[in-house]
Amino acid sequence: MWRVISGVFMGWSLGANDAANIFGTGVTSRLIRFRTAMGLLSVFVLIGAVTEGSKCMHSLRNLGDLGINQAFICTLSAALAMTILTVLRIPASTSQAIVGAIIGVTLLVSSPNWKQFGTMVACWVMTPIGAAVIGYLLYRLFDAVLYLRVLNTRQVERFLKITMIVAGCYGSYALGANNLANTTGVYVNTGMLSVTQGAVIGALAIGLGAITYSHRVIETVGNRITLIGPQGAVIATLAHSITVHIYTQIGVPVSSSQAIVGAVAGIGFVRGMRAVNRTVLGQIFLGWLMTPVLAGLLACGGIILMQVYPSWVH
């Protein structure tokens, strides 16, 4: 049972990195306080994990069969990769991290399901594109609605604060439903944990990571890609949430980071390409490429160490 500690570490890493994807733009736009945002995130991640968290677990199981020790190596390697990128303030993908780790392990011990891997990669590519399109369209829609209503400044501010809370809670729910599989999914698939146990452990770990360390990545998501303002913050969160929840229904864990970055970029495109910090986007894309490779290499190293020193996992 001690092996689940790597799943807790993975959940902490996910919360530390991906909480910024939910409330990062709202916090930096001062629509919601950091502590309030993280409290709401913790509650709704748990609700999403318990109610729909099992939907994406089969995708990881179909990548390759893992034993209990191999599941431990995969989650530990993915968590280490996520932590490194979080320290570097780079929004990364837990989905790519755990998949990269599973591929690394199965390359050494069996054979990966490349068809399943191809399906997941296609979904990863479409995630930021879809979020950018949704963000762009929602921004235009919000502009039209606010213009027709002719609200004064105070009314607009109140409307955006309420909408930000609703969108953030929805995004937290979607994060729990989609990304729970990345934390304890491999343990559920091996039979070590039940779905409910995996959901509760993973969700609590995500909440802890969000509360203790997510402020570092919030700055990147909220300010450095493009200055989107309060209205853009609401729309980016809503576009992200819709995108992630769609893929939950498909049963594929996708990158919350890719979704929010795509949404923020889509809003920036409304204002023209000059509004988007392409240097920061380039750094983030580099991080996305590094994530599965780094996690895969760490996992391969872990498996080799386990074979050389088998007693350390018993």
157: left (phi over 0), alpha (psi -120 to 50) or beta: alpha
Question: What was the pLDDT predicted at 276?
Answer: 59
Give the rounded distance of the alpha carbon of 165 from its chain centre: 19
d(CA 258, CA 252): 14
**pLDDT for residue 28 is more than 90:** no
The domain spans of the chain are 2-313
**pLDDT for residue 1 is more than 70:** no
Question: What was the pLDDT predicted at 83?
Answer: 84
Three-class SS state of 173? helix
d(CA 21, CA 154): 27
d(CA 247, CA 255): 10
Residues whose CB falls within 8 Å of the CB of residue 107, separated by 6 or more in sequence, listed in order: 296, 300
Dig out the tokens for 178 from the structure.
């989609």
The model's pLDDT over 260-281, given as tens digits with 9 standing for 90+, comes to 888 888 887 776 656 556 666 6
The model's pLDDT over 175-216, given as tens digits with 9 standing for 90+, comes to 999 999 989 988 888 888 888 999 999 999 999 988 887 776
pTM to 2 decimal places = 0.86
For the segment 295-312, the average pLDDT, to the nearest whole number, is 84
